Structure 1
Amino acid sequence: MNSVGDYIMARFEAWCRLANDPSSYFVAAFLLIVLGCDVIRKGWRRSLSRRAIESVAATLAIFHINIVLVPGVWLLSDQVKQAYDLLGIPSIPGSVWTDLPTWLLSFLGILAADFANYWNHRLMHMKWLWPVHAIHHSDPVVNGLTTYRVHALENLVMLVSYTLLLSWIGLPRDAIGYGALIVLFHNIYVHIDVDWGHGPLRLLVASPRFHRWHHADVPAAYGKNLANVFPFFDWIFGTYRVPGPCNVPLGATGVPRNNVLKLTLWPLIEWLRLAARLLPTFQRQVVDDRRDVPAE
């Protein structure tokens, strides 16, 4: 009973932290400004179409489901951190960073985090982790709120990748905090429905056009534009693709669009399907191995 009570309290505390975090108010205000600009630009009939409202409603539902699940995600990520600490991997001493200005530390934190994000993002576009990330790509009406259409298991994958790839750097917490807030606002920005390409800066800072191609539901765009902030990572590793304005359908073929229940269960559904495909191959391998064993 105590474990159930502890889980409920952890969920309540997560709600309270979210509600009292000043950054939440800035994010909410930013989203309202984005919505207002979108209504002015498109008109309320297009901006607030039934299709867009259904998409936003599904995203908000997924966001609240994640809040319910967040204590479990934290618990699992803490287990990974404890296992990482047991490895005894040396880290850069904090004293190395003390004389550097906060703005530079924040930039270094964003750069390091985006490098980690590029590789965990690339991993999540591969077969066995794609069912986790597919929820983010299920949105057919990509907008600022699409930032929050993320499965709880994807949050876990990201936290684990940060532990494994970034713990050794030892950056100060305040620099990481400022950097995380900047990345959040930028993530909302690249999801808004505008065709801004950043011109000569297109390889330095991700634009809405760059990220819209990442959400494009055409084979040529699959697994492209994986960096969140710095497109030069995609250019370096061969996954950059921005042929021009993105006027193709968005979403992910075969993934439920706004069915919240199916999207929540989607990783389990897909993993069972993938396992079922592997089962005949495994059974044939077992039979072949038995045939190869010489009779006594």
Structure 2
Amino acid sequence: MRELFAQYQLLLTILIFVPFELLFAARPQKIFRRGLLTDMAFLFLNGWLVFVGVTAILAVATLVNQWILPSAVKQAVGDLPYLVQVLIAILIGDLGVYWTHRTLHAVPAMWHIHAVHHAVEELDWLAAVHQHPLDVTFMKAGSLFPLVALGFSTEAIGTYLALYYWQTWLTHANVRLSYGPLRHVLVSPEFHHWHHSSEREARDKNFAGLFSFYDVLFGSVYLPQGQKPKTFGVDEPMPSRYLPLLAHPFVVWASKHKRDDPSGTQTQRQ
């Protein structure tokens, strides 16, 4: 039943975003673009790997809620009306996304995981799933862990996740959509496309998933008026297929460890 629901969800997403991109394309780009098959592999194969990580995150968060969180806090959160819970969950969840995302860029070892997502050079709605499973797991930890630990209802968290998933497809889509005067309040495709730009001025900017005012607040916004990014991707060479992309961070870590290991260097010299 779950697999059937996922198939219907994918079909609905295709029926919405493919015509949307054809009618309001931000850049000329083919539907059957380069890397499409790799992204399909991410779409259908990542879920099993992410499930393991998310299950562990939820288990630890539940333990925190049951054994560490004061009863008064649980009571206060539980007494909140559904809509208030949803609003607060969205604010907390996106704040977690912001700082997790920023950390993935700032810490070199974590960047090699996140670089898999930034390797996409032709951005569209399906590029949203082009993520290493560890990347997805870290992002889920940043958003879901505090919500579960604080005791938000399953309905409120589910509503947040539904909104976040829709937003993820939308902000990667190849569409002209800027939100006008709300561009510094809500994350638009224009806003997130700059995050993927390979242009130097735009690097390490625009980390929020839903609320661009977090980037304004923490000084990481880049949204030049009347301009749009020209190129996407990263400077470092990246694999183009699914399994090599999964292995990429481990290969880089092993390579760096080998270069930094004095004993390894000495052995090579002998």
Question: Same fold by TM (over 0.5)?
Answer: yes
Q: CA deviation at 1:161?
A: 2.9
Q: 1:205·1:231 contact (CA, 8 Å) conserved in 2? A: yes
SS at match of 1:248: coil
Matched, 1:189 2:170: yes
Over alpha carbons, which structure has the higher Rg?
1
What is the root-mean-square deviation of aligned Cα atoms in Å? 2.9
Find the residue that maps to 1:258 and give its secondary structure: coil
Which 4+ runs in 1 deviate beyond 6 A?
281-284
Shift of 1:153: 0.9
- CA separation of 1:227/1:255 partners in 2, compared to 1, >3 Å: closer, same or farther? farther
Q: 1:257 to 1:191 in 2, by over 3 A?
A: farther
**Which residues of structure 2 form unaligned runs of 5+?**
none
Aligned match of 2:92? 112
1:81-100 alignment runs, 5 A limit: 81=61, 84=64, 88-90=68-70, 93-98=73-78, 100=80
The answer to whether the 8 A contact 1:142-1:250 is kept is yes
Aligned partners of 2:220, 2:263: CA distance in 1, in Å? 32
* Aligned pair partner of 1:271 in 229, 249, 253: 253
Alignment counterpart, residue 19 of structure 2, candidates 7, 15, 36: 36
Instruction: Look up the match of 2:201.
Output: 220
User: Which digits, 9 at most, give the CA deviation of each residue in 1:162-211, with x for residues without a partner?
Assistant: 46544443211101101110111111111111232211111111011100
Aligned length: 262
Amino acid of the residue matched to residue 259 of structure 1?
R
Aligned match of 2:41 in 55, 61, 74? 61
Listed one character per residue, the Cα deviations across residues 12-60 of structure 1 (whole Å, up to 9, x for unaligned) are xxxx524335xx6345313322102323456xx94335xx1x3221111
Which AA in structure 2 matches 1:253? D
Q: How many angstroms apart in 2 are the aligned matches of 1:86 and 1:278? A: 43
Change (3 A) 1:26 1:71: closer
Identity of aligned residues (%): 25
Alignment correspondent of 2:236: 254
CA 32–117 in structure 1, closer or farther in 2 if over 3 Å, else same: same
Distance 1:133 1:92 in 2: 38
TM-score by length of 1: 0.77
Give the 3 Å change call, closer, same or farther, for CA 246–38 of structure 1 in structure 2: same
C-alpha deviation, 1:282, in angstroms:
11
Gapped runs of 5+ residues in structure 1?
Answer: 1-15, 285-296
The alignment's TM-score, normalised by the length of structure 2, stands at 0.84
Instruction: Find the counterpart in structure 2 of residue 129 from structure 1.
Output: 110
What's the counterpart of residue 129 of structure 2?
148
3-state SS in 2 of match to 1:176: helix
The one-letter code sitting in structure 2 at the alignment partner of 1:214 is: H
Partner of 1:19: 4
Distance 1:160 1:77 in 2: 6
Secondary structure of the structure 2 residue equivalent to 1:253: coil
8 Å CA contact retained: 1:31, 1:145: no
Q: Render the CA deviation track for 1:237-259: whole Å, top value 9, x for unaligned.
A: 11100113323211122142632
